[in-house]
A = this chain, B = another copy of it.
């Protein structure tokens, strides 16, 4: 399990120790590498909503958690791999129902519309018994890319990213 203690949106200045409110919509899009329009569309259509503060009409602000960013990055990675958004929706709704929110390490394996979280060893079995298409995504790489993007934008926030699992 991995968590970011503090982010750098809102807050009067770049004061150390300030626990910010999360990531704004625009910043989230930047960090994840998607357009604001995509982020907006995905929120409206219930793919991924900001867990810290949802929109409440014009002028309000969405606020995304670090966990949200991770999930968004997973979506983006799957899209880049040529997977349809519809399938991504199925995957996430399934994961949310059948697993905790700790979609963190391990590998995401998609077979049809029933995804799994498995270790590297277990994947081999799946391939040998493999019927149909197997989509394999190592989540560690996703986290790494995201953290690099964050550090790239906020160099001093480096120490705030802590590995707990």
Contact = CB atoms under 8 A, between A and B. Distances in A.
Interface residues of A, number: 30
Do most interface residues of chain A lie in helix, strand or loop, or is the interface mixed?
mixed
A149 to B, nearest CB: 16
B123 A127 contact: yes
A102 interface: no
A80 B113 CA distance: 10
Interface string A71-104: 0000001101111101110100000000000000
Interface of A: 77-78, 80-84, 86-88, 90, 107, 110, 112-113, 120, 123-124, 127-128, 130-138, 141
Q: Which 3 A-B pairs have the closest CB atoms?
A: A82-B87, A81-B133, A134-B136
